[in-house]
Homo-oligomer: A and B are copies of this chain.
Amino acid sequence: MSRRLTPRGKERRAQLIDYATKRFATDGYHPTSVADIVDGLGVGKGVFYWYFASKEELFIEILRTSQRDMRRRQQRAIEGVDDPVRRVELGIRAGVEWLAANNDLRRLFEFARTESTFAGSMKAGQSVLVSDAVVHLKEAIVEGRIPDRDPEALAWAILGVSNQLIHVYIDGDSMDAPQIADTVVDFCMEGLGVRR
């Protein structure tokens, strides 16, 4: 699906994406029908299928552009920083802040990972983030700044901590984004801090 869109058309399309994102995030993808979306916007069903080939296509589009946006933010946050450990930290903070600011999308990501139709698309996107992180982790290992362990596993672990703490503390809104970022960074840098 790809049409020539006038400014008016682009805005409609954006409207549909925004509203659908919210509904998907609050009610779930399956329970939200196309009729719900167009009714909520007060437009006819034809509008939806003018801009999107299917409900599924819309959802995948939301996932793709969101993942791209998050990665961009992370890259902007670390550009020009020499210290690899510092780059990891800034990457974590940028990621946490993006996910906290786009909680709707975070929820969509969580769901998308659970259904085979979307899992592939999600895994691909996440793998990109992990590869990004692996570069810095490897550098940190080479420089002897952190012990030599599988950098990919470390990157996934970081992602896991970030997602979990945001999920708990944003949805339970008992912490703001910077506080969560502090907690995540702290745990990722030294874990429980057990002396062994």
Contacts and interface: CB of A to CB of B under 8 A. Distances in A.
A184 to B, nearest CB: 8
Contacts of A88: 192
B183 A188 contact: no
Interface stretch (A64-72, A94-102, A105-113): A105-113
Nearest to A162: B160
Interface stretch (A2-10, A12-20, A27-35): A27-35
A114 B116 contact: no
A159 B153 CA distance: 15
A156 interface: yes
A111 B157 CA distance: 20
- In this complex, the interface size class of chain A, counting residues with CB under 8 Å from chain B, is 35 or more
A93 B64 CA distance: 35
A79 interface: no
A173 interface: no
Nearest to A195: B145
B160 A164 contact: yes
Nearest to A148: B193
Interface string A127-168: 000000000010010000111011001101101111111011
Contact of A189 (B31, B107, B161, B194): B194
Interface of A: 26-28, 30-31, 85, 88, 107, 110-111, 113-117, 137, 140, 145-147, 149-150, 153-154, 156-157, 159-165, 167-169, 183-184, 186-196
9 contacts: A110-B114, A111-B114, A111-B115, A137-B192, A146-B193, A149-B186, A149-B193, A160-B165, A191-B191
